[in-house]
Amino acid sequence: ESRDCGKPFSESQGDLGVCADTFDYYAEVAPVMMKPNYENSTGAAEFYARIENEPLGVVGCITPWNFPLMQAVLKVAPALAAGCSVVLKPSPLASLTCCALGELVAAAGAPPGALNVITGGPPEALEGGGSSGQYLIDHHMLDKVSFTGSGTAGQKMLEASASKLRPTCLELGGKSAFIIFDDVADCLDSVVDWVMVGIFQCTGQVCSATSRVLIHESLEQKLVDRLLERVRTIKVGDPLVAGTLMGPLVSEGQKQKVLGMIKQAEADGAKNHALPLQLSTELQQGYYVPPTVLSNLPYNSTAWKEEIFGPVLAIRSFSTEEEAVRLANDTPYGLANAVYSEDRVRCKRVASQLKSGVVWENCSQVLFPSTPFGGRQGRASGFGFELGPAGLKEFLSEKTVISNDRTTFDWGIYKQA
């Protein structure tokens, strides 16, 4: 995993733990959730109804390169638990562990065709299509598509599904905010650590990254000073070397995109606090970008408004709670946000106003197999869920069966006709 996508070895180990926990979770809850649910009909003693949950069918799962195995498992585990047949197409930039997953599932005794792994380019890889990804989403035998990736590619998924009226689950990008109030001065070290978790893990290539920090004006300089002090201790380098906290980006193209966004932010008037990287000779040609903190970034700057997908944190201050909530919600995205305060009542109040599918209170990027993860519907972060009971329901089809057990009973409507 680390060789394939460049994330530090310790992060890859953590991802594998999430994968195992997710398989265990769905193995436990699927048999319970898929039991028929018997319900009495409304006032008609002669009838009763049951609701059955059936496998949706053949599902196409298309996954990204930032969490290659974990993102695949978040789809494959509930789909298999539901009884679906899965065609998994990982990113061409990081396919190795997904291929290994296919081998492991087969070795574990899954029937032929339960999990099928295909590799190749994404739908936008070739002019006019022609890639394995395009062939997959155009196939008439797919009953559903589950996709994680960019908004542009997500639109292609919907276009391919529209003519087939095929359900499609999209987990897309985000530009999440991290609101920090003025009552946390005594725990600023913990605040800074969560801020860094929110943007520098996986070299910032995280759809839910809390990449916009909104700090109360009375604490702004203290936070920036403490943050920069800690950022300078991040060991950037070979992801396979012990102690490395940040590896390279996934590709040259991604590196140039991130550097371009940083350069544009500087042109817009932002102050860049990043220090030059100190890399060994053999790493200097790698896809490395320094952990970057931007301050004084205009609200209309592309780096403030658009997803960068790199280790770039933008910081702005606010004066009131109302202003903080307004600035956090001033984005087309709606995947996640975070709020930090000693006041639990305020955390709850602010969380209820943030327009996102996930809100972290006094933390960032914490997820559990049992809790749904997905964007707020109606926003540019997509729709549908992974994880939790909702993640299993994505691959189930509900069927209502209404039964009359008295074979001699009828309504008698036409007997006198």
Which strands sit side by side in the sheet containing 85-89, from one edge to the other? 115-117, 85-89, 58-62, 144-148, 168-171, 382-383
State the catalytic residue, choosing from 11, 171, 307, 394. 171
1 is an active site residue: no
Q: Where are the beta strands (DSSP E) in 209-368?
A: 212-216, 271-272, 292-295, 312-318, 336-340, 358-361
Helix ranges (H only) for 207-339 are 220-231, 252-267, 302-305, 321-329
* Residue 168 backbone zone (phi > 0: left; psi -120 to 50: alpha; other: beta): beta
Is the separation of the CB atoms in 230 and 196 below 8 Å?
Answer: yes
First-to-last CA distance in the chain?
73
Residues facing residue 202 across a β-bridge: none
Is the separation of the CB atoms in 295 and 315 below 8 Å?
Answer: yes
Alpha-carbon distance values, 35 to 30, 51, 54, 184, 299 (Å): 9, 9, 10, 47, 51
Residues 6+ apart with CB under 8 A from 144: 56, 57, 59, 60, 166, 167, 168, 169, 394, 395
169 is an active site residue: no
State the catalytic residue, choosing from 19, 98, 207, 347. 207
Q: Which residues are catalytic?
A: 171, 207
